[in-house]
Chain A
Amino acid sequence: MIRPLVILLAAFAASGAFGADQASVQIEPTTLQGPRPLAKETATAVVRDYLEAWQSLSAALEQNRTDLLNQDFVGTAKDKFAETIEEQQKLGIRTRYQERSHDIRIIFYSPEGLSVELEDNIAYDVQLLDHNKVQTTQLVRARYVAVLTPAEVRWRVRVLQADSN
């Protein structure tokens, strides 16, 4: 289903500590595969919860706190990011992810309504700290795919993976 062109340019405050910039967010027209129509309210909620998940992930990786993942992540994504945080703790490193921009398109809404997949061309700064010493700060551009599933009151990220395809 191809929905009418809706471009929403918004900005949200990024939670990263090494910069007060706001990330720009662009929502591309939905190009769904699947038979189920996607209500505007659902799309809005998915994007909102996805962006909040990035902020939670950034904070969790910067502070090495797995508990910050609980609200926004579930399943494989939560397990993998928790492992990353535990590994960072063991190695004495931290990583700061400062989002600069998101360009999001919802690409799949499963027929039973229990999952949404989106792609996001994202730009972010990565800062690597080893025992609190900054090793490098790099701008990274990548394309991510994410799968979100509904929980009680929000959509949670089940898969979040940079993709080169």
Chain B
Amino acid sequence: MKHAFTFLIGVTVSAGALPALAQSGNLDLPKSIVAGSAFSIQSTSSAQGVLYIVGPGQVLKRDVQPGQPITIAAGDLDCAGHYLAVLTSGSSTETGEFDVVPGSQPATLSFLAKPSRLPVGLQSGISGAVYIFDAFQNLITAPTPVSFQLSIPSEATQSRTVVSRQGAAWTDMNSGSKDGNAKFVAQAGDVSATRVIQQVPGDPCGLKMSAKKVGEQIQLETDPLRDCSGNAVTDGTIVTFTESWNGGQTTVDVPLKHGIAQAEVPAYNGARISVATGVVMGNEIRWANQ
């Protein structure tokens, strides 16, 4: 090198960084530094200069004094990425490149769990995806084990462990057989994130109604509606009663209340009365006035 000023740069890493030296450009720089680590660059130059460390995620500028180390304090360079180092002095410019890598210890998880509400008994109905970040919000791209757990009251906990790829990991789970809130937990290292999944009853199983005459009306009432796992179907679910007679038809939609649906329809002799909710058909009654 024929420069007016010559810098000899040595590197010492004081905390956590890996001093795997690699020749890059004119500067000897560490191949990689762990984000947030302190390190220093020893200059044996006899002239003043300026050191720039440049990347899209962070820039640093330090004056270089003759014979003094250039100190990058802990936390000064914490954004993971690829950096260009430029050392200028007078007409002399030396450059090098190095990486700042994320810390290996997860500090936060971005956990996306869907859906927030679903029926019981769905295979692979719940999905969860996480992105893993270190303490400086760098995406940890090194493979990292992530455990997912879905805890449902009075049922066995479902567990999966997935190794992340490029900072992301995902899984799916089955919804349980009992309604209620399930806790969906993702954990990597010492950090975890929890989402609550509301499990609601599935479609009614075995819709059945009975009828009795009250004055000039027929009073219709369903048995308590339950799904195929025995969970009470949610109040508010619409039940439709249909009465057909001599070419006429009456339809009554009523919401489920305390697990049953009730309605009154005119008492036409010979009427056929059916009941349904959603895609589930119930029994049919043929009415005969006595």
Contacts and interface: CB of A to CB of B under 8 A. Distances in A.
A128 B59 CA distance: 11
Given A136-B95, A138-B95, A110 B168 contact: yes
B61 interface: yes
A126 interface: yes
A161 B165 contact: no
B58 A160 contact: no
Contact of A162 (B55, B95, B137, B170): B55
Q: Which secondary structure characterizes the binding site on chain B?
A: strand
A110 B97 CA distance: 33
Contacts of B170: 33-35, 108, 110-111
A95 B139 contact: no
B137 to A, nearest CB: 5
A80 B139 CA distance: 13
Interface size class of B (residues with CB under 8 A): 35 or more
Given A159-B139, A163-B141, A93 B61 contact: yes
Which of B86, B93, B168: most chain A CB closer than 10 A?
B168
Interface residues of A, number: 43
Interface stretch (B75-83, B235-243, B269-277): B75-83
Interface of A: 33-35, 57, 61, 76, 79-81, 83-84, 87-88, 91, 93, 95, 97, 107-108, 110-112, 114-115, 117, 119, 126, 128, 130, 135-136, 138, 140, 142, 145, 147, 159-165
Given A80-B79, A111-B114, 9 more contacts: A84-B55, A95-B59, A107-B165, A110-B170, A112-B112, A136-B86, A161-B79, A162-B81, A165-B141
Interface of B: 25, 31-32, 50, 52, 54-61, 79-82, 84, 86, 88, 93, 95, 97, 99, 101-102, 112, 114, 124, 127-129, 131, 133, 137-139, 141-142, 165-168, 170, 172
